[in-house]
């Protein structure tokens, strides 16, 4: 593992309910170094955003959690951590597919898309103490070698489907840890403007007119920015700027709700 600290302590478990839950329980039992990774071949109750589950075929994908200690961030800056992690995972996907264009993007707040299909999801659970983040558990699921998915998932894809080849999971893990560490070090060095710019530049549907659902109303709008607290800024056709929380807005496409 060619990293400074992320992945240096890697705990492999054959199966678990969710790697986030496993890592949380482990932290209650002993002291763990920042950058500790828990990875499993079989995640039976993987958790996604909005209470959703993350489905993953055993031994085919990357399902892991990373322990970080971003105590240099205030609670109102925690979306900067989201930006750094999202960009790191996105760049891992780009590097794996040798894609250097906007085909691989971050779908707000932190899904990774290839075109209009979802290849990865991220679940960040922060613990706040006083005026700083005490620790963060970063759950990551990446579809790597899986080719068949549940019909309940509207738009999944995988690295193998997109690249037409099998990937070595251990090599993928090492590359992923390196990409995330690079972005996390930028965050730790307070390079917020760089992260802000790169996140917006690589944001799915940024400055593009598309359909959204907000509080049971469907309308056309375009993404024009992200607030400091991570809310999505949409400009409607009437030039009204809306600030939407994650649970308030849905991305619509071709008559279905895109998987969050």
Measure the CA–CA gap between 200 and 207, rounded to whole angstroms.
10
Enumerate residues 6+ apart whose C-beta is below 8 A from 56. Answer: 43, 46, 63, 141, 143, 146
Once rounded to an integer, what is the mean pLDDT over residues 148-156? 88
Domains and CATH numbers, the chain: 10-201 (3.30.930.10), 209-257 (2.30.30)
Nearest residue to 39 via CA among 10, 60, 68: 10
CB distance 246 to 124 below 8 Å: no
Q: Which residues of 183-201 are buried (b: 16+ CB within 10 A; e: fewer)?
A: bbebbeeebeebbbebbbe
Average pLDDT over residues 30-59: 81
Q: Please compute the mean of the pLDDT values over residues 84-111 and round it to a whole number.
A: 91
* Under 8 Å between Cβ of 96 and 175: yes
- Res 47 pLDDT > 90: no
Q: Are 239 and 205 in contact (CB under 8 A)?
A: no
- Over the stretch 183-225, which tens digit does the pLDDT of each residue have? 999 999 999 999 999 999 999 999 999 999 998 899 999 999 9
Q: How would you classify the pairing of strands 37-43 and 62-68?
A: antiparallel
Model-level pTM? Answer: 0.93
- For residue range 130-143, list pLDDT tens digits in order: 999 999 999 999 99
Task: Give the model's pLDDT for residue 257.
Answer: 44
SS3 63: strand
Pairing outcome for strands 249-253 and 241-244: unpaired
Distances (CA, A) of 101 to 36, 63, 65, 154, 205: 32, 26, 28, 24, 14
| Cβ neighbours for 11, distance < 8 A, ≥ 6 positions apart | 26, 36, 37, 38, 39
Instruction: Quickly state the pLDDT bin for 253 (edges 50, 70, 90).
Output: confident
**Which of the four pLDDT bands, split at 50, 70 and 90, describes residue 258?**
very low
Residues facing residue 139 across a β-bridge:
65, 123
Q: What is the pLDDT of residue 115?
A: 94
């Amino acid at each position: 593992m060619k990293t400074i600290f992320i992945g240096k302590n890697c705990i492999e478990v054959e199966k678990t309910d969710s790697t986030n839950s496993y890592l949380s329980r482990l932290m209650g039992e002993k002291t763990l170094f920042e950058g500790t990774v828990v990875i499993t071949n079989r995640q039976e109750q993987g958790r996604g955003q909005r209470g959703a589950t993350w489905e993953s075929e055993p031994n085919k994908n990357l399902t892991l959690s990373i322990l970080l200690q971003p105590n240099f961030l205030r609670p109102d800056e925690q979306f900067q951590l989201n930006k750094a992690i999202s960009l790191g995972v996105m760049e891992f996907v780009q590097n794996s597919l040798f894609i250097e264009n906007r085909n691989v993007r971050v779908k707000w707040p932190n899904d990774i898309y290839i075109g209009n299909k979802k290849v990865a999801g991220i679940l960040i659970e922060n613990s706040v103490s006083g005026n700083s983040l005490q620790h963060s558990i970063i759950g990551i699921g990446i579809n790597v070698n899986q080719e068949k998915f549940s019909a309940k998932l509207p738009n999944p894809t995988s690295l193998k489907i997109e690249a037409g080849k099998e990937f070595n999971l251990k090599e993928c893990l090492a590359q992923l840890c390196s990409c995330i560490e690079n972005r996390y070090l930028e965050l730790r060095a307070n390079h917020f403007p760089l992260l802000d710019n790169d996140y917006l530049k690589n944001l799915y549907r940024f400055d593009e007119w598309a359909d959204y659902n907000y509080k049971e109303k469907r309308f056309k709008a375009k993404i024009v920015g992200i607030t400091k607290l991570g809310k999505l800024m949409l400009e409607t056709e009437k030039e009204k700027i809306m600030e939407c929380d994650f649970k308030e807005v849905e991305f619509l496409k071709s008559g279905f709700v895109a998987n969050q």
